[in-house]
Amino acid sequence: MAKKRSLSVLKRIRQNRRRYLRNKARKERLKNAIKELKKITNKEEALKLFPRVQSIIDKAVKVGIIHKNKAARIKSKLAEYIASLS
Q: Which domain holds residue 60?
A: 27-84
On whether residue 11 sits in a domain, the answer given is no
Q: Give 2's pLDDT tier (boundaries 50, 70, 90).
A: confident
The answer to whether the CB of 65 falls within 8 A of the CB of 23 is yes
Rounded Cα–Cα distance for residues 23 and 21 (Å): 6
Query: Span 49-64, mean pLDDT?
Result: 97
The pLDDT of residue 19 is above 90: yes
Q: Is residue 73 part of a domain?
A: yes
HEC assignment per residue over 3-31: CCCCHHHHHHHHHHHHHHHHHHHHHHHHH
Whether the pLDDT of residue 30 is over 70: the answer is yes
Average pLDDT on 37-59 reads: 96
pLDDT at position 3 is: 81
CA distances from 34 to 11, 45, 62, 67, 74 (A): 35, 14, 17, 16, 9
- Is there a domain that residue 14 lies in? no
pTM for the full predicted model: 0.85
Percentage of residues of the chain with pLDDT beyond 90 = 93
Q: Give the Cα separation of 37 and 50 in Å (integer).
A: 7
Domain count, the chain: 1
Residue 58 lies in a domain: yes
Q: How confident is the model at residue 1 (pLDDT cuts 50, 70, 90)?
A: low
Domain assignment present for residue 10? The answer is: no
Rounded CA-CA distance 6/27 in Å is: 32
